[in-house]
């Protein structure tokens, strides 16, 4: 991947390029930022640039033997560690067991979440972790000499998912890695990484994308109408993952808004028969659609609270046209007095759905609790 394929982050890219030109590349670096900031894409491009055989002033060449292999994620001196899940056949899996799927998945797009990845490898509700068995594999791989490049590069995606024993076993090698070895850690939640790992890394903070960068990306990559792209970028608030999801699931967003409207109207009227019917309609949807609705509802609650607190003037409200129209009259019902309880109930429903609970009971219970909290 080349830097030019990332829609923005020019200042960060310039700093990374400067570190290479000045030969001041730290042996362990931590890329972190808010969800959807493109930290993995930056790490991939940085690795490719460092190993490029004919690097340009502002980017890797993209055509040398190294760049071609990096683009396909098959370079013999380029290694990955990422969360995986236990299977019936393997109770202590390692990243290399899923490397084929990883290459296919990352090649589609460098912008994704851990849930996207776990869904791709079809592990159900299993939790993604970097298991203890991974530590021995890392030590083994990095003990080998380089094959084609001057340097071995290992990307550890989501080091916060490391088992504590894994992290402890890697402390020494991250502090004093083998000669010509570079660690690039990519984290969404650096506060969950053990302090002894953090202290051994140079921290590179990645900001969210700018609205115009997301707008241009949607127009260029997905041929989205420019005005619609600008609206989506405003809602996404720097999160390119959310922007892509909003574009690809516009019909789903409209359905979620209608579902939210109906719930709030029935709850306000205390129309129990309509609430029962509503819960049955939501139950008929798949679990992913149900989880999508709950996540959407949590966002709408947040935006309406911001409206109630008068934060629209400070540009802290991120909604589309239809959502804004609905919220003009609805937002007075969402206040600091009930928003936390409402959010707790929606979050609880999400966790129960994720745990394969009875959807009919979960959504009926949620709706009845909203009746009490919305007034």
For 318-369, the pLDDT digits (tens) are 888 888 899 999 999 999 999 999 999 999 999 999 888 999 999 999 999 9
More confident residue, 311 or 17: 17
pLDDT in the model for residue 46: 97
pLDDT in the model for residue 125: 65
Both tokens assigned to 106 = 């990352």
Q: What is the pTM of this model?
A: 0.79
Asked if the model's pLDDT at residue 241 lies above 70, the reply is yes
How high is the mean pLDDT of the chain? 91
Asked if the model's pLDDT at residue 268 lies above 80, the reply is yes
pLDDT in the model for residue 205: 95
Query: pLDDT exceeding 70 applies to what percent of the chain?
Result: 99
């Amino acid at each position: 991947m080349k830097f030019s394929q990332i829609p923005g982050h020019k200042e960060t890219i310039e700093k990374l390029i400067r570190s290479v030109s000045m030969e001041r590349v730290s042996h362990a670096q931590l890329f972190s930022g808010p969800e959807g900031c493109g930290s993995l894409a930056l790490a991939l491009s940085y690795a490719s640039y460092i190993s490029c055989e004919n690097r340009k002033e502002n980017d890797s060449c993209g055509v040398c033997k190294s760049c071609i292999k990096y683009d396909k994620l098959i370079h013999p001196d380029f290694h990955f560690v990422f969360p995986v899940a236990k299977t019936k056949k393997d109770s202590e899996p390692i990243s290399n067991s899923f490397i084929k799927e990883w290459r296919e998945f990352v090649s589609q797009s460098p912008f994704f979440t851990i849930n996207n990845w776990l869904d791709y490898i079809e592990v159900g509700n299993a939790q993604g972790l970097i298991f203890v068995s991974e530590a021995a594999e890392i030590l083994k791989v990095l003990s080998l000499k380089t094959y084609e490049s001057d340097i071995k590069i290992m990307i550890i995606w989501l080091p916060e998912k490391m088992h504590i024993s894994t992290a402890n076993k890697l402390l020494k090698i991250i502090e004093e890695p083998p000669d010509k070895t570079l660690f690039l850690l990519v984290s969404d939640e650096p506060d969950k990484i053990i302090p002894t790992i953090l202290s051994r890394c140079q921290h590179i903070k990645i900001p969210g994308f700018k609205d115009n960068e997301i707008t241009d990306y949607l127009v260029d990559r997905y041929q989205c109408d420019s005005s619609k792209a600008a609206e989506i970028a405003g809602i996404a608030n720097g999160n390119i993952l959310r922007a892509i999801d909003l574009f690809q699931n516009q019909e789903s967003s409209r359905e979620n808004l209608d579902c939210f409207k109906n719930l709030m109207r029935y709850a306000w009227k205390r129309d129990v028969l309509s609430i029962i019917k509503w819960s049955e309609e939501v139950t008929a949807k798949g679990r992913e659609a149900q989880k999508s609705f709950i996540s959407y509802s949590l966002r709408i609650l947040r935006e309406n609270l911001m409206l109630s607190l008068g934060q629209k003037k400070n540009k802290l409200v991120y909604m589309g046209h239809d959502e804004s129209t609905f919220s003009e009259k609805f937002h007075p019902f969402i206040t600091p007095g009930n928003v936390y309880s409402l959010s707790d109930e929606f979050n609880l429903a999400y966790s129960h759905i994720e745990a394969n609970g009875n959807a009919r009971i979960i959504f009926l219970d949620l709706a009845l609790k909203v009746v009490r909290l919305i007034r």
